[in-house]
Structure 1
């Protein structure tokens, strides 16, 4: 592994962010043993800030600290995904409900603008662009809901989901389905329909989990 050295004045948060991105990109895949000595040498730091960074990642569920065995990148199971998505559906559903009640004209316009980006990416078959616009849409709904506790928990759970080796948008037909689901959520928010917004957001999150399960099933059958 190669990595640029971190300046001496950097804090352990920067180390944590560097490692976080390497985990999300699967440069450090699930199940990988974290070689503290090698990482400390690569970054040009002592073991102390590295260990503090690993504690941060452990609190986020991204690494697992095993007594007398060291630190490993967390492996997420199908059961884990079932449980995380079930919680996500509840939390994001609540955000959508709150957003439908609180959104002002400027915030509604912003959601419409983001949805236009989703439509453009879908029309171009641009999965990366769609993913970015999807993230922006969900984040905007959460910001409109204006509940920092919900936002914090959702952010941490989304980090865990990124440990999955698969992406729901690669499931056949999922991109078009996701676009339609976002449109339905947006329509409910624009109509100031909190119950409809909550129900549609929950259904959207559940559909994402089902798409991941189809991908995993197909890969298992191929193996």
Structure 2
């Protein structure tokens, strides 16, 4: 019975996470427990356990006597998160460069060719997908479950922010160049070079997002 309960609340957490990432539960949304129980056809217990999971992940915030709300990611949050994730993914690139073999490089070459094709065609959703696949491949090559876990947790927060850095002028070309620099270091089996290039890539993404925010603010004031 206990295992079944744990499985149910995990399933509920997955469904709520999907609704949040799809924008169906936007930042600031109050989660009405009664309505959610009816909608998901579950009791309060698995729902509340699921809410605890998402609160621990940072996707929700709990306010005493008010309940749970979908978290809102601020510019300060992004300023604090990006240097951390740059360090962590930089370390993944470092470890990947130490362990990469010829077969791994061939697989990465295919992903980078796909990335270049999408950049040239300005296919932004497809570029994001290829970009994600490359980051995931490096995390797997690093073969450090603790790094992978912390990066996954931070990525959920960044995903909550629904970031679109490639909308910044020239960003897609810059991003591609940064990825190719990481790949060149991997091919050279240069751990320090791969780490530095990956950190640069993540920090420049934050710069692009900051520029977009400034442009948006200026357009509202115009």
Q: For the superposition of Structure 1 and Structure 2, which TM-score range results when normalised by the shorter chain? A: over 0.9
Partners of 1:185 and 1:99 in 2: how far apart?
11
User: What do you get for the CA RMSD once the two structures are aligned?
Assistant: 1.4
Q: TM-score, normalised by structure 1?
A: 0.94
Normalized per residue, which structure has more helix?
2
1:206 aligns with 2:215: no
Name the residue aligned to 2:24: 27
Name the residue aligned to 2:63: 66
Distance 1:160 1:9, change over 3 A: closer
Name the residue aligned to 1:94: 91
Name the residue aligned to 2:12: 15
Q: Verify the 8 A CA contact 1:84 1:157 in the aligned structure 2.
A: yes
Q: TM-score, normalised by structure 2?
A: 0.94
Partners of 1:190 and 1:9 in 2: how far apart?
44
Q: Which runs of 5+ in 1 are unaligned?
A: 1-7
Q: Secondary structure at the match of 2:178?
A: helix
Q: Verify the 8 A CA contact 1:166 1:215 in the aligned structure 2.
A: no
1:176 aligns with 2:173: yes
Q: How far apart are 1:145 and its partner, in Å?
A: 0.5
Q: How far apart are 1:166 and its partner, in Å?
A: 3.3
Name the residue aligned to 2:147: 150
Partners of 1:149 and 1:61 in 2: how far apart?
18
Residues 121-171 of structure 1: CA deviation (Å, up to 9, x unaligned): 112211110000000000000100100000000011000001214311111
Name the residue aligned to 2:107: 110
Number of aligned positions between the proteins:
216
Residues 155-199 of structure 1: CA deviation (Å, up to 9, x unaligned): 110000012143111111111110110000000001001111000
Q: Secondary structure at the match of 2:160?
A: coil
Partners of 1:80 and 1:210 in 2: how far apart?
14
Name the residue aligned to 1:219: 216
Partners of 2:119 and 2:189 in 1: how far apart?
26
1:132 aligns with 2:129: yes
**Residues 182-191 or 208-217, more deviating:** 208-217
The runs of at least 4 consecutive aligned structure 1 residues that moved more than 6 Å come to none
Name the residue aligned to 1:46: 43
Q: Verify the 8 A CA contact 1:166 1:216 in the aligned structure 2.
A: no
Distance 1:165 1:219, change over 3 A: farther
